[in-house]
Structure 1
Amino acid sequence: MTRVLLRLVLAGALPALLVVVWWVASAGSTDVYWPPLRTILTAFPDVWTPERLRADVLPSVWRLAAGYALAAVAGVALGTVIGSHRRVRAVCEPVLEFLRAVPPPVLVPVIMLFAGIGDTMKVAVIASGCVWPVLLNTVEGVRAVDPVMAEAARSYGIRGVARLRSLVLPSASPQIFAGLRQALSIGIILMVISEMFAASNGLGFTIVQFQRGFAIPDMWTGILLLGMLGVVLSVLFRLVERRVLGWYHGLRDAARRSP
């Protein structure tokens, strides 16, 4: 219990310090673009009512979840195939490096031509950016499977789906989750960017509307809400990661305690 409380205190110390610094630094501000934090916090409950949360935040979260899930499935599936076969990897690697180097926001106008301006476009933009860290980390994780274990599986006749389920994916899962963690932050960024193009709702759309209407404190409340959403999603991801990779963290903790 003491360790948990200590971790909570350490995790909250820096955010609390930054809030205090922001409060003090902006307390006497008369700049219209840099309002006092007190003004922003006062406006927050008036701006983000339950109705606005349902109208703007829930659609954003749904698009993020859909694009992220699509990227996760495609990245793990393709990465497993590419990482398992040397010839496939040799053929695909130049194309993958080219596509990875193209910034996803640049693809927004192109995706709009084929997917329109609805939710399909926004989900496609999110998926197109999130898939690369998942794919590349999966490839490296599959390639790094212990050759001794791979040879033992071959000797015992463990092949196909059984080999994939019992050896490849468990061995690559720490690296896969590293890619999923990177993809989550990219997905939040692309969620906002995609909603700035021809959208009628969403966090990105609302923040831009506040900026265009010179409702600067309201704009800052949107930025704060976006940061809070990122923190919540990060905490949820860590909980899932600790649950799925409990065996991995247990082995690592045991290795640290051993002399």
Structure 2
Amino acid sequence: MASVAVLLLFILLWHFVSVTRLVPATFLPSPTATYKALSNGFSRGQLSASTASTVWRMLVGWGLACLVGIALGCLIGMSERARAYLAPMLEAIRPLPTSALIPVFIAIFGLSEGMILGAIAFGAIWPMMLATINGIAGIDPALRDLAKSLKMSTLAFLTKIALPSAMPEIMAAIRLGLTVALVLAVVGEMLSGRTGLGQWLLVSARSFATPNLFAGVVILGVIGFTANTCLQLFEARVLRWRQSAR
């Protein structure tokens, strides 16, 4: 209820500022104008096509990052030697902003779908890979000793002890990775000129169609909120055993 009240208060404040012209309508359209832009965009199919394209790219790039990031995280996290050799390199690459590396992806893939998906996967992979490595490396030594006493295989230790123990960190990184994927999908669409909310925002800004611009921002907010809520529900189900064990 508190979040709903804050949202309503924000809309009322937005309406007040737009009605009183504290900010010119050229830069801040009213909520009504933004709603009309949303309605027209969806009724004509342009906004729905742009939304579908962005969501598809976000999910595909994020899915690739999940598969590769968690798999690499398991391989590195299970080996102390691999962590010792690769940790410095990973820490050196991790801070590099993916948006600054997009020209590299353009040089490799051109202004193609592969460029956008590659940039998304590269940017979203780091939270999941590092969270998996740190989660597995930080397992209680008593659990490792238990696995040795039971003569568990590496695969059994990974699936029955390591991954369940690291799951809280991995789930948090998965949610962060999805946010990164959404941002990079928009940036990639702006640079490549392909259909999507990024291109919608860019065209709207260049033509000073601020109601359309704000309509795109609203859609991005809804996508981000919906995706995060779904992952939170999934996380609660996956980690239910952890709560019942306490």
| In the alignment, structure 1 residue 44 sits paired with structure 2 residue 38 | yes
Measured on the aligned residues, the alpha-carbon RMSD in Å equals 1.5
Could you say which residue in structure 1 is the equivalent of 2:10?
18
- 1:86 corresponding residue in structure 2: 80
Partners of 1:53 and 1:31 in 2: CA distance: 22
1:61, distance to aligned residue in structure 2 (A): 0.9
d(CA) in 2 for partners of 1:77 and 1:221?
Answer: 38
Alpha-carbon distance in structure 1 between the residues aligned to 2:140 and 2:88: 26
For the residues of structure 1 that align with 2:147 and 2:193, how far apart are their CA atoms? 51
1:177 matched to 2:167? The reply is no
| Matches of 1:187 and 1:157, distance apart in 2 | 40
Kept in 2, the 8 Å contact 1:78–1:135? The answer is: yes
Q: What residue is the counterpart of 2:55 in the other structure? A: 61
In structure 2, the CA distance between the partners of 1:140 and 1:122, relative to structure 1 (3 Å rule), is same
Cα distance change on mapping 1:146 and 1:126 into 2, 3 Å:
same
Q: Is the 8 A contact 2:38 2:47 kept in 1?
A: no
Percent sequence identity over matched residues?
32
CA contact (8 A) 2:42 2:48 kept: no
Q: Mapping of 1:169-248 within 5 angstroms? A: 169-248=163-242
**What stretches of structure 1 of length at least 5 have no aligned partner?**
1-8
Mapped partners of 2:244, 2:205: distance in 1: 48
Q: How much does 1:26 deviate?
A: 2.1
SS at match of 1:170: helix
Q: Which residue of 2 aligns with 1:5?
A: none
In terms of mean alpha carbon deviation, does 85-94 or 21-30 score higher?
21-30
Q: Distance in 1 between matches of 2:74 and 2:236?
A: 22
Contact (CA 8 Å) 1:126, 1:191: kept in 2 or not?
yes
Deviation at 1:38, TM superposition (A): 2.3
Which residue pairs with 1:131 in the alignment?
125
C-alpha separation between the residues in 2 aligned to 1:52 and 1:23? 26
Letter in 2 for 1:215: A
Partner AA of 1:64 in structure 2: M
1:13 Cα deviation from its structure 2 partner? 2.4
**Quick one: distance in 1 between partners of 2:242 and 2:231?**
16
* Partner SS for 2:190: coil
SS at match of 2:26: coil
**SS at structure 1 position matched to 2:27:** coil
CA deviations over 1:2-48 (Å, ceiling 9, x no partner): xxxxxxx2332222222222222222223411122222123220123
Structure 2: gaps of 5 or more residues: none
Could you tell me how far apart the structure 1 residues matched to 2:3 and 2:29 are?
A: 27
Worse overlay, 21-30 or 226-235: 21-30
Counterpart of 1:109 in structure 2 is 103
Return the alpha-carbon distance in structure 1 between the equivalents of residues 199 and 35 of structure 2: 21
Q: Which amino acid aligns with 1:160?
A: T
SS across alignment from 1:49:
helix
Q: In structure 1, what residue type is equivalent to 2:26?
A: V
- Taking the TM superposition and a 5 Å limit, the aligned residue runs for 1:148-163 are 148-163=142-157
Q: Which has the higher contact order (CA 8 A, sep 6+)?
A: 2
In structure 2, the CA distance between the partners of 1:239 and 1:199, relative to structure 1 (3 Å rule), is same
Task: Write the letter of the residue equivalent to 1:49.
Answer: S
